[in-house]
């Protein structure tokens, strides 16, 4: 796996990342054990940049990742997420308030 510097942080991230939308069953229903295996095998293969968002399965992807990260050394991956898109209703889809971002 090749890595690149993440700005001036000193962190090295893989040139490939694992996108979490499928973990949230965005495209089709997924199996929890299979999803966990995908995440863990990706990390073992050197992919250390993992992406998700609350929008992916309305929190399901983040729940799957929480379970997949259990027992994985924290220094072996970087997790990035997006915020502000939570609701399927177009007029209520986005919420940019800091309070909502911090809400579980």
Positions marked catalytic: 56
Which residue stretches of the chain are H helix? 32-44, 60-69, 98-102
Quick check: 14 and 49 in contact, CB under 8 A?
A: yes
What the block records as the tokens of 27 is 């495209």
Task: Count CB atoms within 10 A of the CB of residue 64.
Answer: 25
- Dihedral angle at the C-alpha atoms of 19, 36, 77, 24, nearest 10 degrees? 30
């Amino acid at each position: 796996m090749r890595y690149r510097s993440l700005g001036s942080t000193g962190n090295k991230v893989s040139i490939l990342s694992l996108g979490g939308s499928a973990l949230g069953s965005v495209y089709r229903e997924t199996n929890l054990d299979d999803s966990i295996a995908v995440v863990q095998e990706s990390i073992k293969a050197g992919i250390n940049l993992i992406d998700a968002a609350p929008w992916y399965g309305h929190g399901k992807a983040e729940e799957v990742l929480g379970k997949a990260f259990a027992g994985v050394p924290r220094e072996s991956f970087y997790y990035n997420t997006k915020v502000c898109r939570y609701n399927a209703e177009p007029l209520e889809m986005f919420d940019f308030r800091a309070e909502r971002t911090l809400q579980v």
